[in-house]
Amino acid sequence: MASADPVLAQRPAPPALPVFQRINELSQRQKLSAAAAIAIAIAMLVGVWLWSRSPDYAVLFSNLEERDGGAIVTALQQQNVPYRFAPGGGAILIPSAMVHEVRLRLAAQGLPKGGLVGFELMENQKLGVSQFHEQVNFQRALEGELARTIQSIGTVASARVHLAMPKQSGFLRDEQKPTASVLVNLRPGRTLDPAQVAGVVHLVSSSVPRLANDNVSVIDQNGTLLTTRSDPLRMAGLDATQLTYVRDLEASYIRRIETILAPIVGADNFKAQVTADVDFNQVEQTAETYKPNPSAEQAIRSQQTNEQTTREPGAQGVPGALSNQPPAPATAPITSPDVAGGSGPAGAPLNSNRASTINYELDRTVQHTRQALGQVRRLSVAVIVNQRTETLPNGQTRTVPLTEEESTRLTSLVREAVGYNQARGDSLNVSNAAFAAPNAAVDADVPLWKDPQMLELGKELLKYGVVLLALAFVYFGVVRPLIRNVAPVHQDTDTFDEDGDDDVIVQLNGGPPGLTFDDKLTRAKEVAKSDPKMIANLIKDWMGTNDEGKK
């Protein structure tokens, strides 16, 4: 054997078989495997494409009445809108991109009606309807309109209104007042506060003639009575508005303290709390006073003097004796003048009486006092201030308490800010202490994997990623292996015609690259001279191969 690079000279190989011939040369098992792989690849591509193109479904309507649900489904079928039902049939789902448009279309058709009828019931009155039928239709329409209005409250999912309207009578003693009952179905986790219940009661009572507020009952879906004939808080003397007023008043005092201390010690270096004792007693007082001793300068309002004199002597003698009797009237004519009595001088009165009454102007004071509600009887203020932070020369920090002067200044500021009044018993306590170290800051932002926008973006990227993976799997797992097995193999050949035979193909392996045809031919001749036995065996093999190919 020569040490030179081997050179293989082959006879001209048959031309490459076409693709269909290569497929026919495959075994039956290989053909079935290839067909199954192609079918799986096509099915995978189609499934991924349909999955990526399938829209996201959103809720169109939920908790619908059966009648409204059937009407909505019929309308969706007429509009060729794809729909599906949520698990349990509680909602109708359609593609999210069409939700708003379809809602507007259905609203134009009056859907959903909510299972309630309003005054549109009066639009289709038949001829010859009795008065009783008209009254019943009017009552049904009024109940439906009231229910629709109550359902507009955000807390209420649905509502039913029942009106009991007795027939009017001409006799006052037989007259009956109308009553109403309202059933509200509240949304999960929601409640009606007293103000909202009162609003529902006033809404119903104001919509029905001669209906009083006390004749309206409101209950929820659990059968709990939301209205009472008398408010227990008001019967106990309590009012929710009073509690709200106290909280607002205390909050205003706290804001005053924060406003005055924040620029000095910092917003996070103090805490303040205020407790207000508010007087809600309704007091009315009327007082009428007089001065006991009038002054000398006081004006005389009226004065009356009564003076009486008489010349007749008074009764004398022992009481009951005859000498005490007045003299009998004279029977003889009076011929001489009267003789004066001997008890006094002539012409002087024998008896005198004088009475005098003086009325002065009264110093009278009438005072009517009505105290205002919500007066502050006492304030209790507590403020805690964090210690100061100092930086040491070595760069470390430490906390030091406030000085006496600083504490006094802060106390004075807080006292003036809240309007401290010692006469009414206010108390104020400003303390200085080191605040506890805050916990590790918790990021209040929503994590990236919980952000709705990032979730939507992740879903879209997931779709495209699945499509790319499916394409890569089909290409590298199915298409490329089939191409390798079916497609013809191309070989690098060099063709030469030495004795005029164009069908001789010589393939030279080995040797340095870049050799020309003449170089390769020279090397082939050298190998044939050096090792003719190998060339002879090679020619025998070629001749045997050709004979088998001819056979």
180, β-bridge pairs? 163, 216
Residue 397 in tokens = 């920090």
Question: Which helix (DSSP H) or strand (DSSP E) does residue 136 occupy?
Answer: helix 131-151
Phi then psi dihedrals of residue 519, to 5 deg? -65, -45
pLDDT digits (tens, 9 = 90+) for 521-544: 788 888 888 888 888 887 877 776
Residue 41, number of CB atoms within 10 A of its CB: 19
Q: Return d(Cα 134, Cα 117) in angstroms, integer.
A: 15
Least confident of 141-150, 295-304, 465-474: 295-304
Compare 187 and 301 and report the one with higher pLDDT. Answer: 187
As a whole number, mean pLDDT of residues 427-431 equals 92
pLDDT digits (tens, 9 = 90+) for 207-217: 998 898 889 99
Percent of the chain with pLDDT over 90: 13
Question: Which helix (DSSP H) or strand (DSSP E) does residue 272 occupy?
Answer: strand 270-279
Instruction: Report the side by side order of strands in the sheet with 156-164.
Output: 156-164, 179-186, 216-220
- Asked whether the predicted pLDDT for residue 85 surpasses 80, the reply is yes
Compare 219 and 48 and report the one with higher pLDDT. Answer: 219
- Asked whether the predicted pLDDT for residue 314 surpasses 90, the reply is no
Highest mean pLDDT: which of 38-47, 348-357, 492-501? 38-47
Q: Where are the beta strands (DSSP E) in 72-146?
A: 84-85, 91-95
Cβ(134)–Cβ(195) under 8 Å? no
DSSP assignments along 423-453, one per residue = TTT-EEEEEEEPPPPPPPPP--SPPGGG-HH
- Closest by CA to 73, choosing from 94, 57, 96, 97, is 94
pLDDT digits (tens, 9 = 90+) for 459-471: 778 877 887 887 7
- Looking at every residue in the chain, the average pLDDT score rounds to 76
Q: Return d(Cα 5, Cα 528) in angstroms, integer.
A: 12
